[in-house]
Chain A
Amino acid sequence: MNESRRVYFDHQATCPVDPRVLEAMLPFFRETFGNAASRSHSYGWDAERATDQARESIGAAIGASGREIVFTSGATESNNLAILGAARMYRDKGKHLITCGTEHKAVLDPMKFLEHEGWEVTVLDVDGLGRIDLDALRAAIRPDTTLVSLMHANNEIGTLHPIAKIGAICKEKGVLFHTDATQSVGKVPVDVEAMGVDLLSASAHKIYGPKGVGMLYVRRRAPRVRLDPIMHGGGHERGLRSGTLNVPGIVGFARALELCLAERDSDSARVGALRDRLQRRFEEALTHVHVNGDQENRLAANLNISFEFVEGESLLMGMEGIAVSSGSACTSASLEPSYVLRALGVGDELAHSSVRFSLGRASTEDEVDYVAARTIAAVTRLREMSPLYEMALEGIDLKTVQWTGH
């Protein structure tokens, strides 16, 4: 095998910019470079026209109007604005928030921050597949609850939450509903009306757009959602997010989303078939593999799988040139294994052994077969030097062993 060959299977981390997106962006760097907030000349008007068109296009893509779209620097900022902004705006109504354990840190950390400021946060449990219990959600909502934040598609395991059902519960109970749709917009249907969503975060770079641009949908009618801004300055974005608009980025974001929508059905069927092929390769060639997440309701591009008895970082070292992610502690800055997999209760041992493959628009069958072969070879080699594999072959139940943890 040619070990210098590179394959990118980490599209849930970020995507390359689609050439058609780049082409749409280029005029806005040198020709139409104006500040969209300049009202006194055509440079500004042209820039504003471009961002308005983008706003309409992105709004239409999620069943909203352009006036409900607030541009940000990315989904982390959108999540912060939604959570901090809504919590503070409605603090007189109550100071209780609800989320769940598998959310992105850009949701959990603002929640934790608010806890220090006197809010109370309920973190719902998920089951072994990463699903929340709708009855538990219903029971958790109190008179002083102001916001529920639950993601659409999970970034690690691809599990899809039933957003429309969650939205209906929130509506019935009269609490605001925010969803982090960073991993789902452009990949699965999103409609804020049908789903009863009040606030929705998305990002351009997960859908073949540029990095550094995202948006927050803020519902204007039934109910009209108000937010306390976190960025103060020139009053851009109707005062919700001050700062000069990233015109090329916004144009690119809109173009990227248009392309996703135009090609979504064919893309997801094709990518889903490739993902299934990859999973089949592993299941046919190896014993002791565990797919993490909900195989029924899952993003088409996602495969999160644990190769028992093999540590994730060492596995990635053996797959040089192949870009994937691992839930192993050794690959994270925090030196903790994936908290998402922990929340599923798969056990730290399997979290250390997990690898996320996320396929993309340009992925091919040939790449899948190559990645499968390299991965299987690396797992096999590492198992031969794994004391855990040896013990398992001897019939020792690893759970009964007295380990000397350190």
Chain B
Amino acid sequence: MVYSEKVIDHYQHPRNVGSLDKSSSEVGTGVVGAPECGDVMKLQIQVEDGVIVDAKFKTFGCGSAIASSSLATEWLKGRTIEEAQQIRNVDIVEELALPPVKIHCSVLAEDAIRSALEDWRKKQSQPNA
């Protein structure tokens, strides 16, 4: 697979690798994919006053899956929940110049964002969380 320089850069220098405290009420966690499909992404956001102040990821997957999730965390930081909701997989495809066979990696990253936002929202609706 011949990747764009941006994919290689994210692969070699992934941004925001790590984990946030998943039990915190400020943290939303999304885990998407499956080991037998060859990719699993865990994406976490920390939200304060409606703004994403931190984002972390861990990914099992190919180079473009790692790059897609790394890019997603970069984009999420500093955005409001509403702005984060607007991130689309096609934006990731464009930014990383992903080849057609790797588009599913960007879809997975979008799923991970949505899943993390959903988890955070759920926590906000639980009064004792």
Give the B-binding residues of A (Cβ under 8 A).
309-311, 313-314, 317-318, 328-331, 335, 337, 347-349, 352, 384-390, 398, 403-406
Contacts and interface: CB of A to CB of B under 8 A. Distances in A.
Interface of B: 1, 3, 8, 11, 14, 17, 19, 31-42, 57-63, 65-66, 101, 104, 107-108, 111, 115
A329 B59 CA distance: 16
Contacts of B108: 406
A385 B59 contact: yes
B32 A406 contact: yes
Contacts of B19: 390
Nearest to A347: B36
16 contacts: A309-B60, A313-B63, A314-B62, A314-B66, A317-B8, A385-B59, A385-B66, A387-B58, A388-B35, A390-B42, A390-B58, A403-B33, A404-B33, A404-B115, A405-B36, A406-B111
A392 B42 CA distance: 14
Contacts, number: 90
- Which 3 residue pairs across A and B have the least CB separation, nearest first? A403-B34, A348-B36, A387-B42
Contacts of B35: 348-349, 352, 388, 398, 403
B38 A311 contact: yes
A53 B31 CA distance: 64
Given A313-B1, A389-B60, A405-B36, 7 more contacts: A311-B65, A330-B62, A337-B38, A387-B31, A387-B42, A388-B40, A406-B111
A387 B37 contact: no
What DSSP secondary structure best describes chain B's contact surface? mixed
> Which of B8, B39, B40, B42 has the largest number of chain A CB atoms within 10 A?
B40
Contact of B33 (A310, A317, A406): A406
A348 B8 CA distance: 26
Contacts of A317: 3, 8, 11, 62-63
Given A337-B38, A404-B32, A406-B108, A314 B63 contact: yes
A278 B59 CA distance: 27
Contact of A404 (B11, B34, B66, B101): B34
Contacts of B17: 384-385
A60 to B, nearest CB: 44
A335 B37 contact: no
Contacts of A406: 32-34, 37, 104, 107-108, 111
Given A330-B1, A352-B38, A385 B58 contact: yes
B40 A387 contact: yes
A403 B40 contact: yes
B6 to A, nearest CB: 14
Given A313-B1, A335-B101, A330 B60 contact: no
A18 to B, nearest CB: 31
A405 B1 contact: no
A390 B59 CA distance: 10
A311 B33 contact: no
A243 B38 CA distance: 44
B39 to A, nearest CB: 7
B56 to A, nearest CB: 10
Contacts of B32: 404, 406
A185 B35 CA distance: 37
Nearest to B37: A405
Contacts of A318: 11
Nearest to B19: A390
A310 B61 CA distance: 7
Contacts of B42: 387, 390
A394 B42 CA distance: 15
A311 B58 contact: no
A292 B47 CA distance: 45
Nearest to A390: B58
B111 A387 contact: no
Nearest to A331: B1
